[in-house]
Chain A
Amino acid sequence: EAQVTQNPRYLITVTGKKLTVTCSQNMNHEYMSWYRQDPGLGLRQIYYSMNVEVTDKGDVPEGYKVSRKEKRNFPLILESPSPNQTSLYFCASSPGQYQETQYFGPGTRLLVL
């Protein structure tokens, strides 16, 4: 089944404790992206990647890192999480940057205390 998977689905952590949210897609998509969803603000793009070893900042990249060593994986790294990074995070992929059909993962709900 074609899908985007994220792990973990739920995470509670404390300020400053490094964490990684994994994202994997099995559709051989070139384009992958991370969003955060906050009430009243919709989805805001954090980082995106057009292909392996190619990543770029989205609208809200501060406090986040990503890597794209393999085509299928696009982990999101929070080196020193802070409470304002408490949010619902979505990974998405599509065949190309200008393909409209982005496939979203199920989401990761993060709480930073």
Chain B
Amino acid sequence: GQQLNQSPQSMFIQEGEDVSMNCTSSSIFNTWLWYKQDPGEGPVLLIALYKAGELTSNGRLTAQFGITRKDSFLNISASIPSDVGIYFCAGRKKTSYDKVIFGPGTSLSVIP
């Protein structure tokens, strides 16, 4: 079964709106990662988080490592058309740190 769940599955938003998405698991994670996949390309790492409660920004993107260590959140402020793509959360579980596990992705569409 899916080890990571992402919500929502897809989003259609107006340009300029803020976006929030999350990633949850029943397992404890030691590392959370957020990737973006542009249409027709491979994923690119946006943000990496290493400590519970950590809040890290990358431009208009902000991600947080949940305090339970079983979830993570990504926010995008003032969305623009080039934010379109699939956002994947990923992470390393406490019990299997050698592997990176990916979530199913959140597809974001921005309406100009």
Interface on A for B, CB 8 Å cutoff?
4, 35, 40-45, 58-59, 90, 92, 97-98, 100-102, 104-107
Contact = CB atoms under 8 A, between A and B. Distances in A.
Given A43-B43, A106-B42, A100 B88 contact: no
B56 to A, nearest CB: 12
Nearest to B43: A104
Most A CB atoms within 10 A — which of B31, B48, B100, B104?
B100
B103 A92 contact: no
A92 B35 CA distance: 13
Interface residues of B, number: 22
B11 interface: no
A102 B100 contact: yes
Contacts of A59: 99
A40 B104 CA distance: 5
A1 B48 CA distance: 24
A41 B2 contact: yes
Interface in B71-112: 88, 90, 97-100, 102-105
B102 A44 contact: yes
Interface in B2-36: 2, 4, 9, 31, 33
B103 A100 contact: no
B67 interface: no
Contacts of A105: 42
Contacts, number: 47
22 contacts: A35-B102, A40-B104, A41-B104, A42-B102, A42-B104, A42-B105, A43-B88, A43-B90, A44-B102, A45-B99, A59-B99, A90-B42, A90-B43, A97-B98, A98-B97, A100-B31, A101-B45, A104-B41, A104-B42, A106-B40, A106-B41, A107-B41
A40 B4 CA distance: 11
B44 A104 contact: yes
A107 B42 contact: yes
Contacts of A44: 102
A35 B43 CA distance: 11
Contact of B48 (A35, A97, A100): A100
Contacts of B43: 43, 90, 104
